[in-house]
Structure 1
């Protein structure tokens, strides 16, 4: 059985052929899109004036002056209301992988962690000035003849500053043995969550007893490995239910539940409502959403 559920999600490509783009929020959209969607690229949202409302994985976050969001490739989100002004920095996978190549400790850590419930950082006044300077330099360079090394340099500085301040603000330990282990675990879960939902699969690959891996997960994440996998499956379930017309059976197959009854039980356990009630909640939004060609 071949499922096309994932492909039915609204999917936004880069707005031009350039691998990195800087866009001002102020006045760019006629109206925000209310339809949850994915991107083929990564993004930084930086609010400089006014407030807005951002949903990432169907969780609400305020867009406040000085607040920077990082959005993963393929991560489901929607901006319900845009702030008065700010910057959106769009960049492709090549740029992000180049950043991680020289900063491996940042992968699936802090701001760049798919499991992170605080996917933003609030810049202090000093960092606001630094961000403003670097973004403007990056904007100037992207308007010139394409210069990948320099553009990559400026983008990496932005990501490093945002990532390190997020770690400091949330009191994360950046280089401990456990932090590195959790980073590797999250990468494994992201690659295997649809098929492998039990801890022994991950503990065997990481070379640890399952009990010890669960202890580390509880210490660092507050939940055990199986629940980490469940949270990732839940996020994908929400996305497919809200943004596709796929049957419960198709979604269950797509996410490795076997049949719709298992999906139903799982969703009700972790979300507190049934899949049909969740889908109905977003049905009117999806029907009324007016997608804009430039919507991101």
Structure 2
């Protein structure tokens, strides 16, 4: 009922957040969900090494572990939210509820939402309500914040799906979410589609055909892309040697890792590190 603990949730105007985090343009990662909503300004935002142009009415949703950096031009305004994975746990019976929103898939492009014009004032008002509530001056302020944040997630999800044809069967989205979750949990140990197919109780051929239909990639490519992404994320840490990264990612040796990285990233790990520093 008091002021929410800062490690659970932070809501701020973007200009205030920028003033307190001046090194925000360097690539960095968070251990919490990170959300930015732009109402004015321009520039670019890079999430997991994929660059997006910043536009008013845009929301960026990031899951824990994603690497991102900003490059702004003009007066930037909007809102920032950091929220811990456990913030909703005291409120929701389903611990995985938040992950079901499409923008929290962990795929960069799916976490970028351009709101229709009619939805911008609605989401702006929701953030303003959170800024008032986060002061914690009234009873049940933390529970009200949980309601407001979940309400905003639902409003954004509805608005971003307007006019979108969703002919896919619901069980397809459940299977896709389960596959992605398994890859996230096991990509360092399990590298073969047949291993994931067994965990999902489907055949390897079905899993490959399903992934091609839903994502335009084979199951093997999705697993490989996740390994490559983690290698890139680890390479931003200059204190970690290439050999240590290869070991952490479960490669047999440093040279095998370097060959893998060059084949799929188009550059050596050393060159990649040099270009992002």
Q: Is the pair's TM-score, using the shorter chain for normalization, greater than 0.5?
A: yes
Show CA shifts across 1:58-114 (max 9, x none). 111122100000011121111232751110011111135578856967636631111
Aligned to 1:71: 62
Q: 1:278 to 1:201 in 2, by over 3 A?
A: same
Number of residue pairs matched by the alignment: 269
SS at match of 1:94: coil
Q: 1:163 to 1:255 in 2, by over 3 A?
A: farther
SS at match of 2:239: coil
Q: If the length of structure 1 is used for normalisation, what is the TM-score?
A: 0.82
Whether the aligned pair in 1 keeps the contact of 2:50 and 2:108 (CA below 8 Å) is: no
Cα deviation, residue 220, structure 1: 0.3
Relative contact order, higher structure (CA 8 A, sep 6+)? 1
Cα deviation, residue 245, structure 1: 2.7
Superposition pairs of residues 200-211 of structure 1, within 5 angstroms? 200-211=194-205
Q: 1:59 to 1:128 in 2, by over 3 A?
A: same
Whether the aligned pair in 2 keeps the contact of 1:257 and 1:263 (CA below 8 Å) is: yes
Aligned to 1:56: 47
Cα deviation, residue 119, structure 1: 2.0
Whether the aligned pair in 2 keeps the contact of 1:120 and 1:166 (CA below 8 Å) is: no
Superposition pairs of residues 48-197 of structure 1, within 5 angstroms? 48-81=39-72, 84-95=76-87, 107=99, 110-145=102-137, 147-168=141-162, 171=165, 176-197=170-191
Whether the aligned pair in 1 keeps the contact of 2:101 and 2:153 (CA below 8 Å) is: no
Cα deviation, residue 235, structure 1: 1.1
Q: 1:96 to 1:37 in 2, by over 3 A?
A: farther
Aligned to 1:252: 246
Separation in structure 2 between the aligned mates of residue 158 and residue 103 of structure 1, nearest angstrom: 18
Name stretches of at least 5 consecutive residues in structure 1 with no aligned partner: 1-15, 284-296
SS at match of 1:95: coil
Show CA shifts across 1:219-259 (max 9, x none). 00111111111111111111111223322211111111221
Whether the aligned pair in 1 keeps the contact of 2:58 and 2:115 (CA below 8 Å) is: yes
1:21 aligns with 2:10: yes
Cα deviation, residue 27, structure 1: 5.0
Whether the aligned pair in 1 keeps the contact of 2:47 and 2:108 (CA below 8 Å) is: no
Show CA shifts across 1:250-287 (max 9, x none). 1111111221122112111211111111111123xxxx
Aligned to 1:214: 208
Instruction: Calculate the aligned-residue CA RMSD, in Å.
Output: 2.5
Whether the aligned pair in 2 keeps the contact of 1:131 and 1:158 (CA below 8 Å) is: yes
Name stretches of at least 5 consecutive residues in structure 2 with no aligned partner: none
Q: If the length of structure 2 is used for normalisation, what is the TM-score?
A: 0.87
